[in-house]
Amino acid sequence: MRLRRTVQAALTACATLAASAGLVAAGTSSAQAATPLPSRVFAPYFESWTGQSPATLAAQSGAKYLTMAFLQAATKGSCTPYWNGDTSKPVAASTFGADFNTIRANGGDVIPSFGGYTADNTGTELADSCTDVNQIAAAYQNLITTYDISRIDLDIEDNSLTNTAGIDRRNKAIKIVEDWAAANGRNVQFSYTLPTTTSGLADSGLAVLRNAVSNNARIDVVNMMTFDYYDGATHDMAADTQTSAQGLYNQLAKLYPSKTPTQLWGSIGITEMVGIDDYGAAETFTVANANTVYNWAVSKGINTLSFWALQRDNGGCVGKAGDDNCSGIAQNTWDFSHIFAPFTSGSTVTNDFSVAVNPNSGTVKAGSSTSATIATSVTAGSAQSVNLSVSGAPAGVTATVTPGSVTAGSGATLNISTTSAAAAGTYPLTVTATAPSGTHTATYSLTVTGATPSTGVVNGGLETGSLAPWTCQSGGAVVSTPVHSGSYALQAAATASQTGDCSQTVTLKPNTSYTLSGWVQGNYAYIGVSGGATASSWANSSSWTKLSVPFTTDATGTVTVYLHGWYGQGNVYGDDFSIA
């Protein structure tokens, strides 16, 4: 949250968390996956640094579910999170474990939150601090298994919104944890808490979500902080909550075009700051506002209703803005909690499931076969029948799933066979799982080795009219204009958050000199090779320009050929790729 607070002094350096993608916390006694949260949940933020008992305040306020703020590194560069960055408060049963058990016994649960204004401003937000994606993922998994939780919140604001490397690491770690959870039958959700305008997320917040999409990281809830607009205007906070949420709905509809309106509203969260926020009296969220927002939230079917913070839900400092311990308005203690508490629904959990492929990639020689395991798990509600299929196999490759229908929680097998005529290259196969609650997909990356085409590049002129075996970041496509020759060319979509990389893997003779050639158009258009050799060239032109890139393969003979642009420079185009 943006609320200013003083971080505890004299934080000491911390040990690096030993990491692996499959870490399970030592001493964890629970063998059961956590119970999913209700489909509607009220979970106000709890300030973990105050020394108060979250279980006691939850019981007093009637807020059965809490969002615990915050987890962060003790020092910049560390990969170990602590509560409030305080090394005396590690992620361990000895810290809040008894409170969390009491909260669950009383019918609630907790949502630990990483980040917050202070961490995001000091480089101690975990993914900003730690440069190892696997260690970030391991820290998330350790938190999950230590406290047996089912959702992690990531409060990303201030400098963390512009740290593109941290954003990418965080979303890659989310994907690792989601795959781990699916393979281990766990229900794990991730929510992003982001600043907003009165008409939806700013582009910096959208960039976080776009990067999640490009990394195949599932974000279950996008939670807007509907306060601190910093626009100098006097606000009707309830009305602005609704316009902010409608703006977010419209943005999510574009990011996730396959989702229904119910699913889109069901992936939105709202966090208010009760009373006078730290911007000042022009942004005052009243008890009357709370009633309006509650009725609106129920009617829309949003997922999460929250506020900053439980310790502020009292009238102990009338007229004071942005205090940690009181709202600044005349109110009874727990007025806001009592209004929002009925929002939680324990009886309307929607059935849902997940699907994953393990391993999610493999290599097969043309004429041979391979297989992988498809895992499904229940992520909400009860188990349902799931139909499985696979698509994307190129000529010479046959992919099937057996059995074609399972009950969520059961597994299946992805079977892949190839003929000797299968072209060498890397191909994404999409496993589609469909149930009454909706459809989920998982991707298996198949690399076929064997006889190399004379050009070394498959579909180098894009004249098949489809991308395969090229794979691209979001926005990459086959286009009919502009083209250098023939009917089609390759488009790489460079944006503020990505280079638009399009690539394919080819196998050549080991330890041999080659030249990659291709025609490009656009601002800062790059072609090159990576992997078994590294070389590139670029051009900056509104007309077609031929580029040549000499390189020498290593002992594997395998290289990845790519086209990409540069951040913020717009689309670039490539055509007539060949290797000689």
Residue 445 lies in a domain: yes
Same domain, 425 and 333: no
Same domain, 495 and 535: yes
Higher pLDDT, 33 or 164: 164
pLDDT digits (tens, 9 = 90+) for 355-412: 889 998 999 988 899 999 999 987 655 678 999 999 999 988 999 999 999 998 899 9
Question: In the chain, pLDDT over 70 holds for what percent of residues?
Answer: 92
Q: Which of 346, 284, 338 has the alpha carbon at shortest distance from 109? A: 346
pLDDT digits (tens, 9 = 90+) for 436-482: 878 888 889 999 987 544 458 999 999 999 999 999 999 999 999 99
Q: Which of 321, 235, 243 has the alpha carbon at shortest distance from 279? A: 321
| DSSP character at residue 50 | G
Contact status, residue 417 vs residue 371, Cβ threshold 8 Å: no
Q: What is the pLDDT of residue 451?
A: 52
Q: What is the CA radius of gyration of the chain?
A: 26
Same domain, 272 and 370: no
pLDDT at 352 over 80: no
Q: Is the dihedral of CA 66, 331, 325, 241 positive or negative?
A: positive
Residue 96 lies in a domain: yes
Number of domains composing the chain: 3
Beta carbons within 10 angstroms of residue 238's beta carbon:
20
Same domain, 164 and 276: yes
Q: What is the pLDDT of residue 393?
A: 92
Burial of 80 (0-12, 13-18, 19+ CB in 10 A): buried
How far CA 554 is from CA of 1, 197, 254, 510, 530, in Å, comes to 50, 52, 43, 6, 11
pLDDT at 268 over 70: yes
Residue 507 lies in a domain: yes
Residue 106 lies in a domain: yes
Residue 220 lies in a domain: yes
Q: What is the pLDDT of residue 59?
A: 93
Residue 10 lies in a domain: no
Same domain, 551 and 418: no
Looking up residue 503, the CATH number of its domain turns out to be 2.60.120.260
Picking from 9-18, 263-272, 389-398, 505-514, which range would have the lowest pLDDT averaged per residue?
9-18
Task: Give the residue from 317, 343, 369 where a domain finishes.
Answer: 343
Same domain, 311 and 356: no
Looking up residue 382, the CATH number of its domain turns out to be 2.60.40.10
Same domain, 376 and 323: no
Question: What are the residues facing 454 on neighbouring strands?
Answer: none
Residue 285 lies in a domain: yes
Burial of 93 (0-12, 13-18, 19+ CB in 10 A): middle
Q: Cβ neighbours of residue 380 under 8 Å, at least 6 residues apart?
A: 36, 39, 187, 349, 350, 351, 352
Same domain, 376 and 281: no
Q: What is the pLDDT of residue 337?
A: 94
Q: Which of 139, 255, 241 has the alpha carbon at shortest distance from 199? A: 241
Helix (H) or strand (E) holding 435: strand 425-435
Task: Give the residue from 293, 312, 343 where a domain finishes.
Answer: 343
pLDDT digits (tens, 9 = 90+) for 7-60: 333 333 333 333 333 333 333 333 356 889 999 999 999 999 999 999 999 999
Mark out the alpha helices in 51-202 (DSSP H runs): 54-61, 97-105, 117-122, 126-129, 133-147, 164-183
Picking from 114-123, 219-228, 263-272, 412-421, which range would have the lowest pLDDT averaged per residue?
412-421
pLDDT at 162 over 50: yes
Q: What is the pLDDT of residue 551?
A: 95
The whole-angstrom separation of Cα 467 and Cα 445 is 14
The whole-angstrom separation of Cα 485 and Cα 375 is 44
Same domain, 211 and 257: yes
Picking from 26-30, 153-157, 414-418, which range would have the lowest pLDDT averaged per residue?
26-30
Q: What is the pLDDT of residue 382?
A: 65
Same domain, 106 and 254: yes
Q: What is the pLDDT of residue 20?
A: 34
Task: Give the residue from 449, 481, 506 where a domain finishes.
Answer: 449
Q: What is the pLDDT of residue 456?
A: 82
Same domain, 496 and 432: no
Q: 123 is in which domain, residue-wise?
A: 41-343
Looking up residue 140, the CATH number of its domain turns out to be 3.20.20.80
Angle at 303 between CA 301 and CA 308, to 5 degrees: 120
State the chain's mean pLDDT as an integer: 90
Question: In the chain, pLDDT over 90 holds for what percent of residues?
Answer: 79
Model confidence, pTM: 0.59
Mean pLDDT for the stretch of residues 152-181: 97
Q: What is the pLDDT of residue 7?
A: 34
Angle at 522 between CA 518 and CA 523, to 5 degrees: 120
Same domain, 304 and 407: no
What are the DSSP calls for 204-231, one per residue?
A: HHHHHHHHHHHTT----EEEEE-----S
Residue 156 lies in a domain: yes
Report the Cα 555 to chain-centroid distance in Å: 37
Q: Which token pair is 296?
A: 């609106």
Q: How many residues comprise the chain?
A: 580
pLDDT digits (tens, 9 = 90+) for 238-248: 999 999 999 99
Q: Which token pair is 131?
A: 């440069």
| DSSP strand pairing (513-531 vs 558-564) | antiparallel
pLDDT digits (tens, 9 = 90+) for 100-146: 999 999 999 999 999 999 999 999 999 999 999 999 999 999 999 99
